């Protein structure tokens, strides 16, 4: 119908999947960057968003497929425009560390 062989379609599907994974990863890293710039812990942002810290960890790791509604919620909570979440992150590496606690 479209002039593709079955093997061509499976290659295209695989390539598209990789691109989607990269985009989700970059959005997650960008959310993490914006969160840390605002000196928020994952727990604090998760509470503001009405989600669990574990879900936010999966978002920041690029393992969640976010809806438009979720993206808008994160943009509003982080006080940025939606397109700011789509800007490539400054750093693509995930740092695993405990946040510094500040005295209240």
The proportion of the chain whose per-residue pLDDT surpasses 90, expressed as a percent, equals 65
pTM: 0.73
Please write down the HEC assignment for all residues of the chain.
CCCCCHHHHHHHHHHHHHHHHHHHHHHHHHHHHHHHHCCCCHHHHHHHHCCCHHHHHHHHCCCCCCCHHHHHHHHHHCCCCHHHHCCCCCCCCCCCCCCCCCCC
| pLDDT-derived band at 92, boundaries 50, 70, 90 | confident
Q: Looking at the domain that runs over 24-85, which CATH code has it been given?
A: 1.10.260.40
């Amino acid at each position: 119908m479209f002039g593709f062989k079955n093997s061509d379609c499976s290659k295209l599907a695989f390539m598209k999947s990789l691109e989607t994974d990269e985009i989700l990863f970059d959005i997650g890293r960008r959310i993490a960057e914006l969160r840390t710039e605002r000196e928020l812990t994952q727990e604090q942002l998760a509470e503001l968003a009405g989600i669990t810290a574990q879900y936010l960890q999966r978002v920041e790791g690029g393992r969640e497929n976010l809806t438009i509604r979720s993206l808008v919620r994160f943009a509003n909570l982080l006080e940025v425009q939606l397109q700011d979440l789509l800007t490539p992150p400054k750093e693509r590496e995930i740092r695993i560390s405990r946040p510094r606690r500040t005295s209240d």
